[in-house]
């Protein structure tokens, strides 16, 4: 049958794509000799499910459609508890039982390692959370052009869903954010229009230390908090300080740049200090508005514990921490090795790492602000070959040049902490010619209800 515009059909979900949406294939009879293949992306579906969809312009090769009815449901399908789930782009798997999410993440890690020729039996079951809700210690909300505070709509970056709740953020963080949203509406303040490049309020960043309870609120705006805004700013400061004693940092951050990023050209402290304190494994860290710190503190601590367990640091050893950030891994390891060198390209993170080491009474560290490859060369020249090397690169991975430089340095043990299994697998493949063997891979779920999964892995130099 030849399909027309807006045709309704029933199809089966074959697999999931990299964003967690279902994929299906429909063969279209167009009246020609061979049928045409139509590839469908169907969010909020699970493998094996039969769903009814309506496809506009089915003559195209690929279409993205929402399911109209789940005809045959996956046995692990559950009702998503968040009222924003259908539209919000923050979570993609709230409709999937948590145990099923964990199995999928384990299988994904195995699949990418198998593609590179590694033994998948080395991959352990993904470590999940006892309570996979309210786990995030940092959220960034966006103002719509009419001043509503909310979250980006799935697949439509310019549409903002008005905020009622967020089930993956800390509850006190959400309450504070909703107070800011109410303040903006009470004063009839406009949000930033990305097309016209006008308006006042852009983003609200909320971060909280689950260890100390301290909260930071950072309001990004296109003007300074003065002149016609003085009365509104005084009201904001009074509301927050009176209602939320745990807010230790209330910031107004000027951002006039066209780029849609949470950056600051000029930072104003409305109340408290310009940072908050956080803690992990007994070590204290200072966090500024732009400090990178793991957003799931419960599972981040598990990452550090696993890295220590696999790395087996010794007092007689030297160690390099590559992509060290503010020292999340550096400080616990530095307390257990003779000497540690941390390398990170972001200078503000290196300054924070130095300060964090000093705050915790650690004096056997050397932190260098340089890109990974050149930083390794400089450290090796003055430091010598380390017995242990840890790397925690960004999602893009370390890259072949850096991995080959690590291989030539020949540390006895390498602990790789990954936030992207795909780049992790290609990175460690680079170490095989240098005599390294993969010993263990432990996936850890830091982002329940999303596709993301972290890994901690150990590689050892043969002989």
- 3-class DSSP assignment, residue 272: strand
Give the Cβ contact number of residue 122 at 10 Å: 16
Q: How many CA atoms lie within 13 A of 201 on its CB side?
A: 29
Distance CA 49, CA 27 (A): 18
At 17, list the tokens: 């794509």
Buried residues in 150-166 as b, exposed as e (16+ CB within 10 A):
bbbbbeeeeebbebeeb
**Eight-state DSSP code of residue 126:** P
Q: What are the Cα distances from residue 40, in Å, to 10, 52, 56, 114? A: 11, 12, 11, 27
Task: Spell out the SS3 assignment of 364-409.
Answer: CEEEEECCHHHHHHHHHHHHCCCCEEEECCCCCCCCHHHHHHHHHH
Closest to 437 measured CA to CA, from 395, 399, 407: 407
Lookup: tokens for 426: 């290609």
CA 236, 241, 243: angle at the middle one, nearest 5? 95
Query: In 3D, which of 277, 340, 353 has the Cα closest to residue 313?
Result: 340
Do residues 26 and 11 make contact, with C-beta atoms less than 8 angstroms apart? yes
> Are 176 and 249 spatial neighbours (Cβ–Cβ below 8 Å)?
no
Radius of gyration of the chain from Cα atoms?
Answer: 25
In total, the chain counts a number of residues equal to 463
Told to judge if 419 belongs to the known catalytic residues of this protein, a careful annotator would answer yes
C-alpha–C-alpha distance, residues 258 and 199, integer Å: 12
- Please identify which of the residues 88, 324, 419, 455 carries the catalytic annotation: 419
**Which residues belong to the active site?**
419
């Amino acid at each position: 049958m030849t399909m027309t515009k807006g045709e309704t059909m029933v199809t089966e979900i074959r697999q999931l794509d990299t964003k967690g949406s279902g994929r299906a294939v429909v063969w279209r009879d167009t009246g020609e000799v061979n049928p045409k293949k139509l590839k469908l992306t169907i969010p909020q579906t699970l493998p094996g499910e039969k769903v009814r969809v309506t496809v506009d312009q089915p003559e195209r090769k690929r279409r993205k459609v929402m399911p109209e009815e789940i005809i045959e449901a996956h046995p692990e399908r559950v009702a998503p508890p968040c009222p924003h789930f259908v539209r919000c782009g923050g979570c993609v798997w709230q409709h999937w039982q948590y145990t099923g999410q964990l199995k999928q993440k384990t299988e994904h890690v195995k699949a990418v390692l198998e593609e590179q020729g590694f033994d998948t039996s080395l991959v352990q079951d993904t470590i999940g959370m006892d309570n996979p809700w309210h786990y995030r210690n940092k959220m960034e909300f966006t103002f719509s052009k009419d001043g509503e505070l909310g979250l980006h709509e799935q697949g439509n970056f310019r549409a903002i869903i008005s905020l009622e709740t967020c089930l993956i953020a800390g509850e006190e963080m959400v309450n504070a954010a909703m107070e800011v949203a109410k303040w903006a509406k009470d004063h009839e303040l406009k949000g930033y229009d990305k097309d016209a490049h006008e308006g006042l309020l852009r983003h609200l960043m909320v971060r909280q230390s689950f260890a100390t309870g301290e909260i930071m609120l950072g309001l990004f705006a296109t003007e300074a908090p003065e002149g016609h805004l003085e009365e509104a700013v005084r009201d904001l400061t009074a509301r927050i300080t009176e209602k939320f004693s745990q807010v230790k940092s209330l910031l107004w951050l000027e951002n006039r740049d066209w780029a849609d990023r949470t950056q600051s050209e000029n930072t104003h402290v409305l109340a408290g200090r310009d940072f908050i304190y956080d803690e992990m494994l007994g070590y204290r860290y200072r966090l500024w508005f732009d400090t990178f710190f793991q957003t799931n503190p419960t599972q981040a601590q598990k990452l550090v514990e696993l890295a220590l367990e696999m790395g087996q640091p010794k007092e007689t050893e030297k160690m390099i921490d590559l992509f060290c950030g503010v020292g999340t891994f550096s400080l616990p390891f530095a307390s257990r090795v003779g000497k540690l060198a941390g390398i990170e390209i972001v200078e503000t993170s290196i300054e924070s790492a130095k300060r964090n080491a000093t705050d915790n009474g650690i004096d056997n560290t050397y932190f260098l602000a340089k890109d990974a490859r050149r930083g390794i060369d400089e450290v090796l020249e003055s430091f010598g070959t380390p017995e242990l090397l840890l790397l925690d690169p960004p999602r893009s991975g370390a890259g072949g040049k850096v991995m080959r430089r690590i291989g030539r340095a020949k540390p006895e043990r390498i602990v790789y902490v990954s936030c992207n299994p795909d780049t992790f697998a290609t990175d460690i493949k680079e170490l095989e010619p240098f005599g390294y063997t993969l010993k263990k891979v432990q996936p850890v779920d830091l982002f329940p209800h999303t596709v993301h999964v972290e890994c901690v892995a150990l590689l050892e130099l043969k002989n």
